[in-house]
Amino acid sequence: MGSNYNWTIPAGLNSTNVVIMVRTTDLVDVLAEDVSNSAFTISAPAVVTPDPTVVTAPSTGTTGKSPVTGLMEEISVVSAGDYIKSPSYSTVYYVGTDMKRHPFVDSQTYFTWQSSFSVVKVVTDATLSTLTLGTPMLPKYEVVLVKIQSVNKVYALEFNPADMFAPKLRWITSEAVAQGLYGNNWADYVIDVAPTVFTRFAVGADVNLVSDLSANLGGMKMRINLR
């Protein structure tokens, strides 16, 4: 009775004069052997070198080792723009277009980006290990005003086209300008950020006049609602 054997062609093997010899042994003596009746052609697929500039998300069905249990588990599908967390860790991450996981350092920062945790996808612990850790997420531009703890300077946040993860700080130089831009309750939009986080922002021009900045009040969130 005949039988089939799947053979993976070595990469780069191309020939128009190929013969195959099949030999069976008992690990000591040759029991039988045969050779192809005639030569044939093999054209192996070209070897493709992955483009190192292209970053792809893990594919479903692949597995990896859990950093918690050490057991193999499925790698979840992750896409740019996802908010993710794993069962064993409380940190929520944003997956950027760089396919890195950018952590939220606290819930207050998270709620400048989203209104609830319902959008967060739970992925396996092993999935986190497949994504490089990126820079921490900062409060979203045009949502809150920020200041350093113990320092009275208040800043608006402006979108930074050079780096969406580093909004521009724009110092609002007077209370009158703050009121003109955000109303009498402007202080309700102010949140404190740690000095270590503050250094991650880009720096924009000072806001000396109301006309220096276009305020989007419809997108602003008061401090009391960031929870």
Q: What SS3 state is found at 202?
A: strand
The pTM of the full predicted model, rounded to 2 decimals, is 0.70
Does pLDDT of 28 surpass 50? no
What are 40-44's contacts with CB under 8 Å, separation 24+? 41/15, 41/16, 41/17, 42/9, 42/13, 42/14, 42/15, 42/18, 43/14, 44/9, 44/10, 44/11, 44/12, 44/13, 44/14
DSSP state of 110: H
Does pLDDT of 48 surpass 60? no
Q: What is the pLDDT of residues 102-116, one digit of tens each?
A: 999 999 999 999 999
Residue 14: pLDDT band (50, 70, 90) is low
